Amino acid sequence: MYQVLVAGATGKMGRKAVELIEQKSNFALAAVLAPSIADSDLTLPQTTQCFSDLSQINHSYDIWLDFTTPQAVYQNTEFALQHQMRPIIGTSGLTEQQVASLQQLAQQQQIGGLIAPNFGLSAVLLMKFAKMAAQYLPDAEIIELHHADKKDAPSGTALATAQQIQAGRTQPVKKTWSQNSARGLNVDGVPIHAVRLPGYIAHEEVLFGGTGEALTIRQDSFDRGSFMTGVNVALDKISDLTQLVFGLENLL
């Protein structure tokens, strides 16, 4: 039975994480951490320890599951590693340098874990498959579609997908680029097109073309609840990890 501490248990994602752990056999909700845990309406098993501050934690749990804030996440992960708790970090905001530093610490402590900016399984599989396909079909374009209120374009996932495609290529792509915004934004030799329309939620398509054929990979995120499928996979695989891995795709 793995003992899990959920950090950020009173937040939107944290609550879903609490639910997941309670339903999952072989995993116990041993502790929660949240500044406002005392005033929260969260219902917890009597056996669950409640902490409102890092300094109160005097026990080493098996797994540290973190859905907190960009301000808290670095210190939390450091604390977990120093106390031999395997971190699963779903909180965004860590810089590249911070990730590198935490990976070094994990190595010193000889403990594995996961930092995953995206737990959406369909998005992570899309990126993984896109990288693999690019080895054989280097010509690719990305269309990402989001609700009209999304201010930035292209999306972070689209940018990450373009990087994966470029990383997967074993032959150069022919660059015949029109000076025309109809042809999208060129990222790593992959044109990205961003659609913003009311009604849409969060969707991404990768289109590959080869002689006489096409391959398309699409993912649709209809609901944030989808992230827990990815957390579930992470919990099942965390014990096998001997390093602090970055990206859920490296566990699939």
- Answer for which of 233, 234, 235, 241 binds a second copy (CB under 8 A) is 233
Strand 213-221, strand 140-146: pairing: unpaired
Burial class of 190 by CB neighbour count within 10 A (0 to 12, 13 to 18, 19+): buried
Please give the Cα distance from 67 to 73 (Å, whole number): 8
The least CB distance from residue 97 to a second copy, in Å, is: 27
**Exactly one of 19, 56, 210, 239 binds a second copy (CB under 8 A); which one?**
210
119 is in an annotated binding site: yes
- The partner residues of 87 in beta bridges, in order of sequence, read 64
Q: Cβ of residue 251: shortest distance to a second copy, in angstroms?
A: 10
Q: Annotation-wise, does 132 bind a ligand?
A: no
Phi, psi of 129 (to 5 degrees): -70, -35
Number of residues that bind a second copy (CB under 8 A): 65
State in angstroms the smallest separation of the CB of 118 from a second copy. 12
127 is in an annotated binding site: no
Alpha-carbon distance values, 177 to 31, 137, 144, 166, 180 (Å) = 55, 18, 20, 16, 8
- 150 carries an active-site annotation: yes
Binding residue for a second copy (CB under 8 A) from 136, 156, 167, 242?
Answer: 136
Binding of a second copy by 195 (CB under 8 A): yes
Q: Is 30 annotated as a binding residue?
A: no
With both helix axes pointing from N to C terminus, report the angle between 96-109 and 73-82 in degrees, rounded to the nearest 10: 10
| Under 8 Å between Cβ of 125 and 159 | no
Q: What residues numbered 27-66 form the site for a second copy, per CB under 8 A?
A: none
Euclidean distance between CA atoms 27 and 48, whole angstroms: 12
Which is catalytic among the residues 16, 24, 83, 150? 150
CB of 6 or CB of 121, closer to a second copy:
121
End-to-end CA distance of the chain: 23
Using DSSP, state whether 231 is helix, strand or coil.
helix
Active-site annotation, residues:
146, 150
Residues that bind a second copy (CB under 8 A): 120-123, 125-126, 128-129, 132-133, 135-137, 139-141, 143, 145, 148, 153-154, 174, 176, 178, 180-185, 191-201, 207-226, 228-229, 233, 252
